[in-house]
Structure formats: structure tokens, C-alpha cells
Amino acid sequence: MGWENLTSISEFLLLGLSEQPEQQEVLFGLFLSMYLIAVAGNLLIILAIITDTQLHTPMYFFLANLSLSDTGLVSTAVPKMLANIWIQNQLISYAECLSQLYFFILFGTLEAFLLAVMAYDRYVAICHPLHYTMVMSPGLCVLLVSASWITSAFYSLLHTLLMNSLSFCKEHKIPHFFCDINPLLRLSCTDPFINEMVIFSIGGLTGLVCVLCLIISYAYVFSTIWKIPSTQGKRKALSTCSSHLSVVSLYFGTASSVYFSPPSTRSAPKGAVASVMYAAVTPMLNPFIYSLRNRDIKSSLRKLIWVRKIYSPWW
């Protein structure tokens, strides 16, 4: 075939999680519920952090950005799936597919960076409490978050440009509910060697940096907590890390199973199910994990709801 026409198709067909008509209504209701809960929960946390001056600290600044990332992540894939089920049309244009890929990688990578930054924040807070205010200055916090956004944007752009250089000239059916890297690479009729090398080299390095930051930070954290003489003090210190560790385990566990598992163990159904975990379930659970285990967040949310009751004519 000629190389002058690298992309000979203008649209893809998203097969979704199931092709059975009787299961479409169930999937629509399930994903609509997860999407509304995820968006409402994360926006509530952002609103609570913005309106409550007591939450204007580095930890909650990072949490607000994490909630924003979760909102973007779940909004990239799920609404298109819901629209396809509602109008019974599974087509997605080539440009829309690449746009979906770009933003999904952007918010997915951003989430990993923010979780690593939050681990460093917990390290400074527990291991160096007297220097916390000086170390975690507003300038450093803004720098860490800005670097996470910029790096994620360039990393996502790299993958999108590399995907755009491939030729999709045979099959256009994607056995997935959104345009993700692995399903698209399987449809390419040109050698995706460079794309796969970028995933395992740059992607692997990015993941390794985040994981090492998490491991090293928590190694020092647990070492410091172990030295605390009182049981109550240990519990209090652990409580500040438990929510973050729960989110880290859920996110990195599902993401690594999709992108860094051996090719021989990969399958389209397994990858789609795992993608649901980190694309929809994790953003939905994060607000509950942080709000249910965090007194400050619960207090701020109660005040927010109470003010709403007082000033809203509908209550």
C-alpha cells in the first residue's frame, strides 16, 4: 500500500462492553449513575475546598486538582458511551476518537503525577512537621501542580501524534467503550513498534518515577510512624495516609494491568473491564474515600449543605 495516505478511514465503531441489546439499558443506567455520582462528588469536594478557608492548605490544594482530574477522566469516556447507547449509534469520527484519546491520557497521567505529589506532601507533613509550612510553600505547590499538568499534556500529545501517524485501513471496529491506546494499536495495519516503545519506555519511566516517589515517601512515613510511642499517635498519623493509599492501590493496580501486562495475557474483554475500574469506578469512589475518612472535608460539606438550606428557596 502507499504511504501517502496514512489514514484511510474517517470513523470507528465502538462496540462497547456488550453487543447484546437486552443489556444496553442496564449498562446505560449503571454508567449514568456512576457518572453523575462521580461528577457530583468531585465537584462538591472542589467547591468545599474553595469555599472553606480552613481547607486552603497544600494537601487540599492537591486534592482539589485530583478531583478536577477525576472529573475530566470520567467525562472523557463515559458521556460518549451513554450517547451511543441512547441514540443506538456506535460510530465515532476519527478526529473525535483522537481527541478522546488525548484527553484520556492527559487526565490519566495527571492523576498519577498528583498521587505522587500527594505522597510527597504526606512525607513532609509526617516526617518534618516543624518545617512543613516552609517546605510546602504556595510557590512550590503551584510549581508541582503546574509541572504535572504541563508534563501530562506533552506526554498525551506525543501519544496522539504517534497514533495519528498510523494507518487504519482494514478493520474499524474497536472492542471497547472508548478510544484507548491498546485497542487502537490492534487495528493498525502499519507496524506500531514506535508507539509500543513509547508506551514501555516513556510511559514506563513516568510510571516508575511516580511509583518510586510513592514507595520512598511512604517508606519514610511508615518508619516515622513506627517510632511514635503512643498507639493513638500512630493511628492519627496513619489516618492521614489511609485515604491516599486506598486511591493509589485502586488506580495503579487497574492501570498497570491494562497498559503494562504481557501481551500474551491481554484480551479485549479483560482490558475493557479493567478500564471501567480506572475510568469510571475510581473517579466515583475517590470522593467517598476522601470524604468519609476526612473530618475536615465532612465538616466543610456539612457547612456547605447547611448554607444551601438557609439561602435556597427550594428547601
Question: What is the rounded distance in angstroms from the CA atom of residue 258 to the CA atom of residue 61?
Answer: 29
What confidence tens digit (pLDDT) does each residue in 5-64 have? 444 578 899 988 877 777 888 999 999 999 999 999 999 999 999 988 888 999 999 999
The pLDDT value given to residue 306 = 63
Burial of 214 (0-12, 13-18, 19+ CB in 10 A): buried
pLDDT one-digit tens code per residue, 83-111:
999 988 889 999 999 999 999 999 999 99
CATH classification at residue 232: 1.20.1070.10
**Tens digit of pLDDT for each residue in 201-233?**
888 888 889 999 999 999 999 999 988 888 887
CB 24 within 8 A of CB 15: no
Domain membership of residue 80 (yes or no) is yes
Report if residue 247 sits inside a domain.
yes
Alpha carbon distances (Å) from 249 to 114, 208, 238, 287: 14, 15, 16, 15
Q: Which residue has the higher pLDDT, 134 or 312?
A: 134
* DSSP 8-state assignment for residue 55: G
- Domain membership flag for residue 4: no
CB 178 within 8 A of CB 104: yes
Question: Residues near 187 by Cβ (< 8 Å), separated by ≥ 6?
Answer: 12, 168, 170, 171, 172, 173, 174
Distance CA 102, CA 161 (A): 9
Is 3 part of a structural domain of the chain? no
Identify whether 201 is part of a domain: yes
Nearest to 224 by CA among 129, 117, 115: 129
pLDDT at residue 136 is higher than 80: yes
Q: Kind of pairing, strands 173-174 and 11-14?
A: parallel
pLDDT of amino acid 99: 95
Domain ranges, residue 203: 11-311
* Structure-block grid coordinates of residue 298: 465532612
Q: Give CA–CA dist 221/94, Å, rounded.
A: 47
Strands of the chain (E only): list them: 11-14, 91-93, 173-174
Number of domains in the chain: 1
